[in-house]
Structure 1
Amino acid sequence: MKVNTEKIPLETDQGIIESEERRWGLPLKEVYKHGLLFYKDKEGKAMHLSYEDKLKLVAYTQQTAHGPLDVNSVPPLGVLDVIGRDRRAAWQALGHMSQIQAMAGFIHTLDRLCPSFRPYIEAIQKDFEDKKEQEVKKEQQLKNHKELEDRVLLERDSHNSAKLTEEEQVQRVKDALNAQSYEQFYEYAQQQFPDNVDHQAVLIRQLQDKHYQEYIQQLAVDERLAKSHINFNEEDTFETNDAKKDCNSNDTDIIDSKEIQVSDQFESEYKEDSRGGDSEPDDGLPGIDEARMWCRGSVEVFKQSARDNGGTLTVAHGETVTVRVPTHSTANAICWEFATDYYDIGFGLYFEWSKSPTSEVTIHVSESDEEGDCDDDEYPDEEYTIEGNSRDPEMGRGKHLVVHTRPMVSLVVPIYRRDCHTEVYAGSHTYPGEGVYLLKFDNTYSLWRSKTLYYKVYYTQ
């Protein structure tokens, strides 16, 4: 039986592949695979083909699967197998047609014989494009996520590097100061605790920490005065010009070779601190009990609670924030809790023997410990103003001198750096009398970083 095969344009296999992909929007092999499924599913149901058309389609599938017919390699047919002889005849009629051409012939024949084949392929193409678009979006999301992770890691590495650099510089300054003052502090500690090595070590450490804080505070004062173009005499400075210059560099030799002397007055300021951290005024004021202090976990829970209650503030670099809390008539003790983000901060507690005109908690920001400065000889406990009437011609007509006495301040807890970024620091103190508590949060030692502070203050009975 003679079968007319589908005419395929004579061109190379690559040309056929490109042409069919442009026509169908899918690779040729994909179209052929879906065409086979369509034919097997729809033949005899949604479409009815003639015997000759079926022979054509079967011949194309055999040519695609096995290539040209080799009569010697196929098994013999039975005498009564008419359909088998017709199929082999149709297959043999394809001659040396390539497998690519056979695929294209199958697709063209099926498209011509069944009008529903093209919509079927178009639906598959649409689904294919949707999946491809989703894959592209997913790849883009993964790419963006990877870029974000890389940026976070880079920022974290940069943050850790900057933090390490600051800590290294701070440690270099401390090492240089400790090397210069160790012998003097050691002799002083031996005099205070001649038979107790542990107490000597604690006292030396306290003196070194205080020495470093005083040094950094003096640097901040010098910088502030330099900005204001105020000229000081050399004997009034802390001899830290060279050290201040080197503190901002990466050189190993940070402190100037001149030894920074610690005066007898500096040593006497630590005598009371080394014996419990509390000081009693020498002018008849009542004694002050020691404060109770402890630490606890749940830092993030505490921070969220402080945020909800508005107990947050920023302590800029080189600044000291003082929270003034007046005593309450219905309470007999004060309690406090605080924590920070990422870095430590200095904390100390003072009690001001004065009657507050208000019961509100107030915040005071300064670039140095102003109350501490009042202890120096050049900052007396009295202030002078000119007001009213006076007969002194040098003071101006109608004016006289009025003396204002500063309120006395007692030390409750010395200012030391606390690792409040790792756990919540808390404490309580019993009222020594009527006055104002000064909660000092000291960030003067930090030359670059501001600190975010979370705090709570409340009264107890």
Structure 2
Amino acid sequence: MLMYRAKVRAALDQQTQLLYEQYAQEQHPDNAEQQKSLVADMQEQNFARYLSEVHQYQVLHQQQQLEQLAAINGASCGDEQAGPESNQELTACPLIPATIWTKKELSEFKKEILRSQPKCCIKISSLSTATIRVPTHPDASAIYWEFATDNYDLGFGLYFEWNLDPPSTISVTISESSDEEDEEDEEGQEGSGSTVNEEETGHKRSYPRGVDSGK
């Protein structure tokens, strides 16, 4: 936990260092010691504010989980009372809204993840579709992933599969776009006269359990 706090603090300080230094120079143009002290104070306040926001989010998330659990239990009780032959319409259980945030240092993020975890990264071409299957943890309550895009819009979909024998590895299946397939078809026809369908162009990779493939 202490190591995690130290990493978060270092990341926040790195993000605000230049901005705070510029502000401190404007406030104390001829005093380097006061500039350094002011930067340290502002970074400390920024870190404390970040921890406060994280705590508030965790409390809110826990409250939402309790409300969702109560709603699910209530729906289950209602189903039991109604019986299997009841014609009453089933009501959907409430879902906790997703949270999204962005990073300004996109190029730094891409360089760091490609340097530190290159095997965990997948590259998806324009108009292509990637299906990532990740085993869930029985004690987990949230799904988190990071991604980077170069001037493209991304669409996400999330669904759950219930299996008697769930897989223990992360699998990635990529289906190439129709435009790229047409180009490959033309090249294939010129070379050998054969065509390539969508199932043949899709490819799949697996990762050991615990490896984050959502980058």
TM-score bin (small chain): 0.3 to 0.5
TM-score, length-scaled by structure 1: 0.18
Q: Greater CA radius of gyration, 1 or 2?
A: 1
Structure 1 or 2: larger strand share?
Answer: 1
Scaled by the length of structure 2, the TM-score of the pair is 0.36
